[in-house]
Chains A and B, each alone.
Chain A
Amino acid sequence: MNTDLDCHPTTEILNDYIQGNLSTGLSVALSAHLELCKSCKQNFAKLESSIVNSWEQDSSEVSTNDFAHLVTNIVNQPQIDSDNSSVARQSPITEIHMLDHSFTLPKILAKAANDGLVWKKLGGGINQAKVDIDTQTQCEFIYMSPGSQTPAHKHQGSEITLVLDGSFSDDSGTYEAADFIVRSGKDEHQPVSEEGCLCFAVLDSPVTFTRGLPRLFNPINRYRFRKTIAQQS
């Protein structure tokens, strides 16, 4: 794991995650990171208990509703003995295979990939499988084959990349399993992977290619993104 502080979610984003303020796509990426990163998991537990402990003080908004009448209705409902749904929810897919590698996925990503992944070759040894998680973001698994290089690109919005296996490098450094990387609109980068790399990425707007032939795709890319969003909403 990269020890660089940049490769973990900030306290601010963790607090938003705990309070349910993030998009589903981002929440899924954070859930997966917490399964892989012990120190963030501990940090998360601390932040969560402090949010829970200050819950009462933070509750300034008061409802005009009188809830008292609800109690009678609720206590007439049967209680349940066991949460069978958690067993049923277990995903049959926990691993994905690429070429001769197989990767074990964090639970939440296994669940998200449950319907099966359709891989598309993007050229340069890059493979992409989109996952339909929400209407605000575009979520995808990216597999970079050993020796692959993505075209130089920058982001209009933000891109969160969670490394699941292997490693990749760009101008800023090398990233390994469990690293949580945030790229904003300003950054231009050209990731390369010598040993191959599986990532989960969450984009809140399309990627813009900055060099060479792939630039031709930019208008199409943007169109596709808008179309996906339109179909989902």
Chain B
Amino acid sequence: MEVADQSLCTLKDRDSDEALLIATGNSQDTEAFNRLFQRYSSRIFALGMKITRNEQLSNDLVQETMLNVWRKARLYDLDRGSAQGWIFTTARNRCFDMLRKLKRQPQCVTADDIWPQQGDVDLEPVHEEQGSLVAESAIIASYCEQLPGLQKAVIEQIYILDRTHEEAAVALDIPLGTLKSRLRLGLSKLKLLIGVDQ
């Protein structure tokens, strides 16, 4: 699992929530998932009690949320913020939908529509002004050469070949999460080289 190790390199602590969640997604690591479960079941229960004031519903919420965490763990990446934030969002959204279902409310909008995930928002493109686009592209291309090979490959896929994140991940044969991490590292390095503020 060379790639998995690589994305974990950026995580200082292998027992951190982020490392455990990525291990759950990348290698179906049940031990990692078990640790997450132990850490979060009481937090999720307490959140459920706060919103529903009902013990049975809150117990259901723990099960429902952790099932979601397991099933969707592969979709988590560091761009979506902290693991705790991601699990909180999952718990809040599941709770909201559970209550809507109980009250037999119309299903035209779901909690995931109301609170879009941070990762759903695309990264801002490097260039914003259309004016001197060509000139800027040339300058950016020259800076690209100074990036480490892995980051350069990702930037090329996205900004030169104009591929989507998914297509680029397939082309480079790396997980989507790794691609996004490299892209982010590459972009911030580029910004540093070019001298623009974040």
Q: Which residues of A contact B (CB under 8 A)?
A: 18-21, 24, 27-28, 31, 48-49, 51-53, 55-56, 58-65, 67, 70-71, 74-75, 77-83, 85-86, 89, 107-108, 111-112, 114-115, 131-135, 232-233
Q: Which of B1-9, B64-72, B129-137, B185-193 contacts its partner?
A: B64-72
Interface residues in B117-151 by Cβ distance below 8 A to A read: 120
Contact B105 A24 (CB under 8 A): yes
Contacts of B110 in A (CB 8 A): 89
Contact A134 B113 (CB under 8 A): no
What 8 A-B pairs come out closest when comparing CB atoms?
A59-B46, A63-B45, A61-B49, A67-B41, A20-B92, A20-B96, A31-B114, A59-B43
Contact A86 B84 (CB under 8 A): no
A75 with B45, Cβ < 8 A, contacts A19-B92, A52-B88, A63-B55 known: no
Contact B109 A111 (CB under 8 A): yes
Contacts of A24 in B (CB 8 A): 96, 100, 105, 109, 114
Q: How far is the CA of A48 from the CA of B112 in the complex (A)?
A: 16
Could you show 15 A-B contacts with beta carbons less than 8 Å apart? A20-B93, A20-B111, A27-B96, A31-B114, A61-B45, A67-B37, A67-B62, A71-B66, A75-B33, A79-B28, A82-B75, A111-B113, A132-B108, A133-B108, A232-B105
Contacts of B103 in A (CB 8 A): 134-135, 233
Q: Which residues of B contact A (CB under 8 A)?
A: 25, 28, 30, 33-34, 37, 41-43, 45-47, 49-51, 55, 58-59, 62-63, 66-67, 70-75, 81-82, 84-85, 88, 92-93, 95-96, 100, 103-106, 108-116, 120, 166
A108 with B62, Cβ < 8 A, contacts A19-B50, A71-B30, A233-B104 known: no
Contact B108 A80 (CB under 8 A): no
With both chains docked as a complex, state the minimum distance between the C-beta of A32 and any C-beta of chain B, in angstroms: 9
Q: How far is the CA of A132 from the CA of B41 in the complex (A)?
A: 34
Q: How far is the CA of A186 from the CA of B93 in the complex (A)?
A: 34
Q: How far is the CA of A176 from the CA of B130 in the complex (A)?
A: 28
Q: Which of A48, A63, A71, A89 is within 8 Å of B42, CB to CB?
A: A63
Residue of A74, A86, A108, A133 most packed against chain B (CB within 10 A): A74
Residue of B58, B106, B112 most packed against chain A (CB within 10 A): B106
Contacts of A108 in B (CB 8 A): 109, 113-114
Q: Which of B34, B95, B108 is within 8 Å of A112, CB to CB?
A: B108
Q: How far is the CA of A72 from the CA of B75 in the complex (A)?
A: 21
Contacts of A133 in B (CB 8 A): 105-106, 108-109
Contacts of B116 in A (CB 8 A): 31, 107
Q: How far is the CA of A59 from the CA of B93 in the complex (A)?
A: 18
Contacts of A131 in B (CB 8 A): 108
Using CB atoms, name the residue of chain A closest to B63: A70
Contact B46 A61 (CB under 8 A): yes
Contact A56 B43 (CB under 8 A): yes
Contact B113 A79 (CB under 8 A): no
With both chains docked as a complex, state the minimum distance between the C-beta of B79 and any C-beta of chain A, in angstroms: 14
With both chains docked as a complex, state the minimum distance between the C-beta of A183 and any C-beta of chain B, in angstroms: 23
Q: How far is the CA of A116 from the CA of B97 in the complex (A)?
A: 23
Residue of B51, B74, B88 most packed against chain A (CB within 10 A): B88
Contacts of A48 in B (CB 8 A): 85
Q: How far is the CA of A65 from the CA of B62 in the complex (A)?
A: 10
Q: Which of A21, A71, A232 is within 8 Å of B33, CB to CB?
A: A71
With both chains docked as a complex, state the minimum distance between the C-beta of A20 and any C-beta of chain B, in angstroms: 5
Contact A89 B112 (CB under 8 A): yes
